[in-house]
Amino acid sequence: MENTQSPPNQNLTETAVQRQTSSNNSRLLVTVVISILLTASVAGSIVYFWQKSASEKTIDNLEQKISSLEEQISEMKKEEGVSKPVDSSPVATQAPTLSPVPQGTKLSEIKYTLPEGWEAKMRSDQNDLFLSPKEEGGFLAIKVYPYDGKTGRREYYCQLTKFCIDATYFTPVQTGNISGYKANALDNSGGGPEYFGAKGDKFYVISSFSPSYPPDNYFDRTFQQVIDSLVF
């Protein structure tokens, strides 16, 4: 019968080798663990110091901004405590200059058609074209002014006439061959509404007056025909 038992010396050698291998593995494991711990520690330190540096820079910037704001607030408080001189000088305003015949334009060049019983005349003392019924009263008086074209027509009208008040209101209307406005509720000493419009560098104002008696007078019945017939 064959004996397969290993010799004693061989068993001792294998045991020694196993112990040596186990010892080497343990040392390697310890080395790896230590390396990992050292790496983590170094990386953590780097991150910590970087964050600390960034935080310190942010804090410094905020402190500088706060200091700047405090200085601005202090200056504003000082300025509020100093009274500033008030400019009480009046603001110069220039109203348009009245000119019934600007740049060669003549009132006599305005064309119109009058109903029966109306008449027309030039009034040199008023610098206007006066259109009215021969009887029962009432009239339309047309004046011409220079117009720069830059100022709004309603504003220009108020500057010219000085008739506009808080209650004044304007209604868009067609006046002959030009579009314009009808001005109502004016401070014009009992006069009626006025019509105005512009053509080129000319500004036309038509004053109106209607007699209170008789109520259904000839002027009230026919004046719109005259306004519609105007050609500027």
Q: Identify the CA nearest to 10 among candidates 2, 25, 18.
A: 18
Does 211 reside within a domain? yes
Does 68 reside within a domain? yes
Same structural domain for residues 161 and 189? Answer: yes
Pairing of strands 202-209, 194-199: antiparallel
Does 135 reside within a domain? yes
Residue ranges of the alpha helices (H) in the chain?
8-81, 153-161, 218-229
Domain total of the chain: 2
DSSP-derived 3-state class of residue 122: strand
Q: By mean pLDDT, which of 97-101, 161-165, 209-213, 214-218 is the weakest?
A: 97-101
24-63: per-residue pLDDT in tens?
A: 666 777 777 777 877 777 666 676 666 666 667 777 676 7
Distance CA 125, CA 2 (A): 161
Same structural domain for residues 209 and 136? Answer: yes
Q: Identify the CA nearest to 204 among candidates 131, 169, 153, 138.
A: 153
Does 205 reside within a domain? yes
Name the residue with higher pLDDT: 66 or 67: 66
Same structural domain for residues 12 and 72? Answer: yes
Domain final residue, candidates 36, 51, 83: 83
Does 92 reside within a domain? no
Same structural domain for residues 35 and 111? Answer: no
Domain final residue, candidates 56, 83, 110: 83
Residues 6+ apart with CB under 8 A from 172: 179, 180, 181, 182
Can you give the pLDDT at residue 109? Answer: 87
1-23: per-residue pLDDT in tens?
A: 445 555 555 555 656 556 666 66
Domain final residue, candidates 83, 116, 133: 83
Question: If 0-12 CB within 10 Å is exposed, 13-18 middle and 19+ buried, where does residue 99 land?
Answer: middle
Highest mean pLDDT among 84-93, 110-119, 205-214: 110-119
CATH number of the domain encompassing residue 197 = 3.40.1000
204: domain range? 102-229
pTM: 0.57
| 4 DSSP assignment | -
Same structural domain for residues 225 and 113? Answer: yes
Does 3 reside within a domain? no
